[in-house]
Amino acid sequence: MVRRIAAMLDLSPDSMVEGTLLPRGWQFVLMAADTPRSALRADGFPGLGVPMPDLGLPRLMLGGRTVTYAKDIPVGAVVQRTSALQSLVHKTSAAGPLAIATLVHELRIAQESTPALVETQTYLLLPARKGAIDSGGGVRAERPAAERTASFTPDKTLLFQYSALGFNSHRIHLDRSHARNVEGFPDLVVNGGLVTLLLTEFLRRDLGLVPAAIKVRHVAPLYCGRAITMTADRDGTNWRLKAYDDKNVLAVDMEVEIQ
């Protein structure tokens, strides 16, 4: 599985051998839920890894995540994952009722008493969309200057490979007709976890930095085939990374505590 992540990122799979430390950010492959196909949500999402009540809210979006790295996980190690629903909060917005589900995942290396990694994920459960959202044809915004920048354009092959590695069959990432005609998006939506992975790779490969913790906030969706600009700036002793869409609209904001 780790070799396949490397291949997806266009790195040499041969660099990943047993005993190699799993790069921080690659743990997404350990978060997959082995949900039977008959138990998938209508949108194809395999669930959150824990039992969830039927709330009558058909749309699901990732709102954010925090990850704390206590120690590295060697490739080949036996790892136990514990997942739990931390909270489920009901709210009412202008668009109608919604729910915020917060999950906590802990990864422990066998025989270790404390977690190697703790990841908290926040999902928004939303009502059906009425009409399509802006397709991004508006005026291009002015992106703030940054200390370091990099650009990347995700294609449908990357979305498929990432979704397959994470066993995520959410149709907004794979089915263009569903994304457009049911969810109201202009195109396939880039996985929130994939954007986080691209940012942590930017941190690791371009900046040569190792995160001790990250806090990610998803502000707006990003779309297949449209350029993403990643920026990085020092924030005291830490770093702030951001991802902008092809119109320079902020989509993802990441706070990074450096090891």
Q: What is the pTM of this model?
A: 0.94
Residue 138 to residue 86: CA distance in whole angstroms: 39
**Do 48 and 103 form a contact (C-beta atoms < 8 A)?**
yes
Report mean pLDDT in 10-residue bins for the chain, 259 residues: 97 95 96 89 87 84 97 96 94 88 96 96 90 64 92 98 96 96 96 98 97 97 98 96 97 97
pLDDT score at 135 = 55
pLDDT reported for residue 55: 87
Considering the domain 2-258 in this protein, what is its CATH number?
A: 3.10.129.10
Q: How far is CA 66 from CA 29, 132, 165, 218, 253, in A?
A: 16, 30, 21, 12, 12
pLDDT of residue 136: 54
